[in-house]
Structures are given as structure tokens and as C-alpha cells.
Amino acid sequence: MVLSLGGSVFLTGEKDAEFLRQLVEGLRAVAKQHPLAVVVGGGKTAREYIRLGRELGLTEIELDELGIDVTRLNARLLASLLTPACPARPLTSVREAVEESSRWSLVVLGGTEAGHTTDAVAALLAERMRAERLVNATRSGGIYDRDPATDPAATLLKSLTFPQFRAMVEAGTDGRAGQEFIFDRLGVERLARARIPLAVVQGRDVEQLRNALLGKVFRGSIVAPAG
């Protein structure tokens, strides 16, 4: 099982310590039943660095690298909290994560290389590890027909196919550093190709997150291969 834990779930500025304690307990419990890889995002902190760097004229690749460093900072915090259940430092590539997951039932990493987000890292890892499912822990708690942050009439879509979801991701992203969309382009392509379902869940609700990770019924959305 692979978990993509959005940076905007990881740190919000509100009750983060309480949430992280519950999360760590939940992840340890899941990892006793299934091997688990957790990819942590950079959230608001990454976007703030990217916005500042862009204003100062940094290139897109330099902005991506700033973002990667922030994801690794978050991953380091999570890895330290999970020690000794996982390697104490965040892993830096999909290959290293695959190798280490033969020794550990829990591995943690942030970003890997420029040009995508941690959602794509999670999808690449899911493909390599032949994961049963990728769980995306988000702030929004699912996939909506419109942006729920700006449109109160937005409706939760409980189940979608990959072509439907891919069209939404393409309309919502253009590949630049620091974008804020529920998933990324490379990630959705890889999952569709590998026929790995994507579950989108409210990451701050640790019970729902555990359900999604254990393959139980959960509140959120599922993107599944057709047929």
C-alpha cells in the first residue's frame, strides 16, 4: 500500500501535534497488516518558498528543488516520529524506497526529482511495488465536480474512471512548480497504465484514512480502472 500524504494535511497550523500523534499510531497499526510506503508533500511552506523564489527570478527547476527540500523536511519529521519502525531519515528516490521496503514494513520519503509532485512519486512507487492501491490523503476529503474551497454547491464524486479523472487533472494543472491540485498529471497517467486504483480521503480523519489504507469502506472517492 502506498500513501501520498499532502503537505496541507501534514501541517495546518492547527492541532498539528495532536494529529501527528494519532497519525503515527494509525500508520504503525496499518504497517503491522500491510507493508506501507508514505510519501509526504510540502504544502503551504513549499508554496511560500516557490512563490518567493519565482518573484526573485529563479528558474522552474530551481523552484522544484526548493519544493523537494521542503517535502523532505516534512518527511524527516514523520520518519523521526515513526522510528524505530522505519529508516530514521527520509529516502531520496523511488529505487531506494523499493529496496528499503524489502527490509522495513514502513518507509517514508518526500520528493525525488524536479518536474512533478509527491503524488507522482507515490504513483511511481506504487507501480514499482505492485501496490494494491494508492491512498491520497487530502484536505478536501475527496474529488468534487467543482472546487469545494470556492463553490459551496460542489458535489463529492464517489466513484470515477481514470479517463474522467485524467480530464479533471489536465484541466486543473499545467506542470509548473508549486501547483495546488488534488493530483498530478504524471501520477494519474502512471496509475491508469498500471491499473492501480486511487482512493482519495480526508487525511485529517485518521479513522477514515486507516479504513482506506486497510481496504475497508471509507468516506471519499475512488478512481478505478474501467472493466
Q: Which is nearer to ligand UTP, 105 or 179 (CB)?
A: 179
Do the beta carbons of residue 176 and residue 203 sit within 8 Å? Answer: no
Distance CA 32, CA 73 (A): 26
| Least distance (Å) between residue 33 CB and ligand UTP | 25
DSSP of the chain: -EEEE-HHHH--SSSHHHHHHHHHHHHHHHHHHS-EEEEE--HHHHHHHHHHHHHTT--HHHHHHHHHHHHHHHHHHHHHHHTTSS-SS-B-SHHHHHHHTTT-SEEEE---STTS-HHHHHHHHHHHTT-S-EEEEESS-SEESS-TTT-TT--EE-EEEHHHHHHHHHHH--S-TT---SS-HHHHHHHHHHT--EEEEETT-HHHHHHHHTT---SEEEEE---
Chain residues that interact with ligand UTP, rule: CB under 6 A: 6-8, 41-43, 46, 63-64, 67-68, 71, 111-118, 121, 177-180
| Least distance (Å) between residue 55 CB and ligand UTP | 15
Q: Which is nearer to ligand UTP, 12 or 105 (CB)?
A: 12
Q: Which is nearer to ligand UTP, 6 or 87 (CB)?
A: 6
Q: Which is nearer to ligand UTP, 87 or 187 (CB)?
A: 187
Q: Which is nearer to ligand UTP, 62 or 100 (CB)?
A: 62
| Residue nearest ligand UTP, CB atom distance | 67
| Least distance (Å) between residue 84 CB and ligand UTP | 26
| Least distance (Å) between residue 40 CB and ligand UTP | 8
Q: Which is nearer to ligand UTP, 87 or 203 (CB)?
A: 203
| Least distance (Å) between residue 93 CB and ligand UTP | 10
| Least distance (Å) between residue 42 CB and ligand UTP | 4
